[in-house]
Amino acid sequence: MTKSNTPAQPIRIQEKNNPEMVPSWLTNPGQFLSSRSFQYALIIVVVTFLAFFPALRSGFMQTWDDEKYVTANPVVRELSVVHIGQMFTRPVNGSYVPLPLLSFAIDYKLFGNNPLPFHATNLILHILCALLVFRILRLLKVDPLYALFGAMLFGIHPMRVESVAWISERKDVLYSLFYLSAIITYIRYITGSTREPRFLRYSILLFAGALLSKIEAVTLPLTLLLVDFLMQRPLRLKLLTEKIPYFILSLLFGALGLYIIYRVGIHSPGFLKAEQALGFTNRFFYGLYAITGYLFKFVIPWPQSVIYPYPALAGINLVWIRFVNPAVIVLLVFLVWRSYRKSRAVVFGLLFFLVNILFLLQIFAPGAEFFADRYTYIPYLGLIFIVVWFAGKVVEKNNSAKTLVMGILTAYLAVCMVMTYARTRVWNDGITLWSDVISQYPGMKMEPYVNRGIAYTFNRDWDRALDDFTMALSIGPPSAGVYADRGMVYGFVNQPEKALADFSGAIRLDPENVKALFNRGVTYGNMGQNREAIADFTKVLAMEPSYASAYSALTTLLMEEKKYDTCLILAEQGIRLEPDRPELYAILGNCEFETGQTDKAVENFRHCLRIDNASLDAFLGLAAAYVVRDDYDNARRNLGFAIEAAQQKGISLSGVADIEKAGIGLPARKKEALIRLQSHK
């Protein structure tokens, strides 16, 4: 009976019972666990996990984007419908990455501010990607043994470290999970006996997930055309029409990415300034230079850095970048073209690499880095395919060479594993990471010194922080942010004059630098220059009305200056803005007490203590209020609470003089009441 005469119903029954449609571990788990596929998958999981194990001991990289995406990102710190909506409607740090943000929010909801689960999630996603690579290689007819080597190479290549060990680069591993899955379902579609449309729909949905994770996924339609090329699909109209949904999604998200870059460029002109200064010609040659650099680091992944400075276009560098490197690329293209006569594999692998690296070369689009390890996460799959395909062909032609080929692959994987393990340890914290960059490129860029200075500041290592900030400023260009950071450290080491000079320097460079204005106001206040401090805090609130800390600082000074009416208004505004700041209730209570509103003052002192049960200001305020009410028992009781709270903070209180020595402000009426309490028997 011919196929055309086969009844429709039996075909549908056969498809339902098709063993390929049901996972083998469900139909026969025992056989699956003893199968070669499971054993290979287990090897991939174990080897990749061991290579990246040091990442699980690392913390958040507060000096490089982790605070923007996770630790200081309000939409991540509270999982709610409103915040989920914001994830899908607002870019973060110049990127549209709603699904990574959602995954961060889930991690934070389950585990809080503990970096271990965040790193574990990154590693799990990376391991899943390595397993998907194994599946793709098998679907592309690579022998299982060489597909195993290819998946392990994808999993433990040292150039993977940045994407896995850096929490913020959850974008890479998550978009790649969707991207690789979309390739698999597409191959299932084109290789199935019945071309089931559902696999094509699955692939498109997975592509949408990849785009919602990272915009670099826009290359998928071109990648699928390369798969068609490798699988020798006939060049027909359907080959293109079935890609229309992919191209529409790519165009939409590509336009969104350009819009975000445009908006970031408007609000942060420095984002575009450096790349515009290079000019298109130089960017083109740097892009070609990056291509050969990525090819070289695929074979010899050393040295590695989180920042690669632009090589100077002078001397031997100029000759190499402008003349030798382009010639090398032309020769490589010629050799690949020659290989097309024998097989499509090399052409497919190299074009896969180029298609997926092209938009990351900074030739057309602006960006801060022309070269980065993380850019190779998906592109290297094309080169891996060439390696394992070539290894299989060598053994196929000469079986006696199998031992040598396996030995070379195993030795290379062993070297990669050692290098990846060591490289992952560099990502332990901001100090180890940026010290590594500085050791390779001393004095070449200010950013590593700034970031290490911030890390030293977090560790309260003031001297090293000052050295790094000073070094960064000597490298240049002048930066308001670095002056502000160094000014804060000068404040911590009690050098207010130097702090003022740095904050003022930052403000001269950037008059709208709220951070520098606020901290200069704090410094003025600590030096007793209240008029100047009030002027700075007032400017801060004019520029950023939601700056809650400025309300606290300004109202404290206004109370000292006995400007109670203005103090009351601003304290209430601050409370409406941020109702959980205890000091604002204490300040409001003090103002009310000084203006004779004792009952309201008591209410606000109590509210302050409900938020902060160790507030000296609130306990002392209640003690003074009870003195006015002639309730000396409650007054003494609250004074006792104040003394106990002070002892917990290492402050000794025995009288009004000690209170003032401790730096606790006492307005006139409050001070008078406490003196009465002290003298009352």
pLDDT at residue 658, rounded to an integer: 80
pLDDT at residue 224, rounded to an integer: 98
Q: Which amino acid is at 521?
A: G
* Confidence category of residue 221, pLDDT binned at 50, 70, 90: very high
168-199: pLDDT as tens digits: 999 999 999 999 999 999 999 999 877 789 99
The Cα–Cα gap between 634 and 623 comes to: 7
> No. of H helices and E strands in the chain?
37, 0
Q: Which value, to the nearest 10 degrees, does the dihedral of the CA atoms of residues 156, 157, 160, 166 take?
A: 60
Residue with tokens 């109590």: 606
The Cα–Cα gap between 519 and 103 comes to: 35
CA atoms lying within 13 Å on the CB side of residue 51: 31
Diameter of the chain measured on Cα atoms? 115
- By three-state DSSP, how is residue 95 classified? strand
Residue 92 bridge partners (DSSP): 95
Dihedral pair phi/psi, residue 203, rounded to 5°: -65, -40
* Confidence category of residue 573, pLDDT binned at 50, 70, 90: very high
The Cα–Cα gap between 480 and 450 comes to: 12
The Cα–Cα gap between 520 and 484 comes to: 9
CA atoms lying within 13 Å on the CB side of residue 200: 17
235-266: pLDDT as tens digits: 888 889 999 999 999 999 988 887 876 665 44
**Which residues, 6+ apart, have CB-to-CB distance to 464 below 8 Å?**
453, 456
The Cα–Cα gap between 540 and 542 comes to: 5
pLDDT at residue 73, rounded to an integer: 94
Distances (CA, A) of 429 to 20, 31, 78, 141: 46, 45, 25, 42
344-376: pLDDT as tens digits: 999 999 999 999 999 898 886 556 688 999 999
pLDDT at residue 342, rounded to an integer: 86
The Cα–Cα gap between 79 and 110 comes to: 10
Dihedral pair phi/psi, residue 92, rounded to 5°: -125, 125
Tell me, what DSSP letter sits at residue 639? H
Q: Indicate whether 25 pLDDT > 70.
A: no
List % helix, strand, coil for the chain (3-state, nearest 5): 75, 0, 25
pLDDT at residue 266, rounded to an integer: 43
- 28-42, 55-69, 337-351, 625-639: which range is least confident on average? 28-42
Helices (H), 166-236: 170-191, 197-211, 220-230
The Cα–Cα gap between 83 and 98 comes to: 10
The Cα–Cα gap between 174 and 129 comes to: 9
The Cα–Cα gap between 341 and 136 comes to: 24
Dihedral pair phi/psi, residue 475, rounded to 5°: -75, -40
The average pLDDT across 204-213 equals 97
The Cα–Cα gap between 589 and 571 comes to: 10
Distances (CA, A) of 27 to 19, 31, 39: 9, 9, 18
pLDDT at residue 366, rounded to an integer: 54
Is there a cis peptide before residue 303, judged by omega within 30 degrees of 0? yes
- H or E stretch covering 263: helix 244-267
The Cα–Cα gap between 503 and 500 comes to: 5
pLDDT at residue 362, rounded to an integer: 80
Using CB atoms within 10 A of its CB, is residue 372 exposed (0-12), middle (13-18) or buried (19+)? buried
The Cα–Cα gap between 21 and 15 comes to: 8
Closest CA to 385 of 219, 230, 233: 230
pLDDT at residue 126, rounded to an integer: 98
The average pLDDT across 37-58 equals 97
pLDDT at residue 181, rounded to an integer: 98
Distances (CA, A) of 461 to 453, 456, 494, 498: 9, 5, 14, 18
- 99-103, 150-154, 481-485, 671-675: which range is least confident on average? 671-675
Dihedral pair phi/psi, residue 664, rounded to 5°: -95, 115
Closest CA to 424 of 652, 24, 184, 156: 156
Q: What angle do CA 361, 366, 368 make, to 5 degrees?
A: 80
* Confidence category of residue 28, pLDDT binned at 50, 70, 90: confident
The token pair that represents 567 in the structure block: 């103090």
Is there a cis peptide before residue 477, judged by omega within 30 degrees of 0? yes
Q: Is 380:353 a contact under the CB 8 Å cutoff?
A: yes
Using CB atoms within 10 A of its CB, is residue 281 exposed (0-12), middle (13-18) or buried (19+)? exposed
291-332: pLDDT as tens digits: 999 999 999 999 999 999 999 889 999 999 999 999 999 999
403-441: pLDDT as tens digits: 999 999 999 999 999 999 999 999 999 999 999 999 999
* Confidence category of residue 280, pLDDT binned at 50, 70, 90: confident
* Confidence category of residue 29, pLDDT binned at 50, 70, 90: confident
The token pair that represents 55 in the structure block: 């990442």
The Cα–Cα gap between 239 and 243 comes to: 7
Q: Is 649:614 a contact under the CB 8 Å cutoff?
A: yes
- By three-state DSSP, how is residue 92 classified? strand
Does pTM surpass 0.85? Answer: yes
575-617: pLDDT as tens digits: 999 999 999 999 999 999 999 999 999 999 999 999 999 999 9
Higher pLDDT among residues 513 and 268, named by residue: 513
**Which residues, 6+ apart, have CB-to-CB distance to 130 below 8 Å?**
44, 45, 48, 151, 152, 154, 155
446-496: pLDDT as tens digits: 999 999 999 999 999 999 999 999 999 999 999 999 999 999 999 999 999
How many beta carbons lie within 10 A of that of residue 467, not counting itself? Answer: 15
Using CB atoms within 10 A of its CB, is residue 3 exposed (0-12), middle (13-18) or buried (19+)? exposed
Average pLDDT of the chain to the nearest whole number:
91
Full set of structural domains in the chain with CATH: 26-424 (no CATH), 545-681 (1.25.40.10)
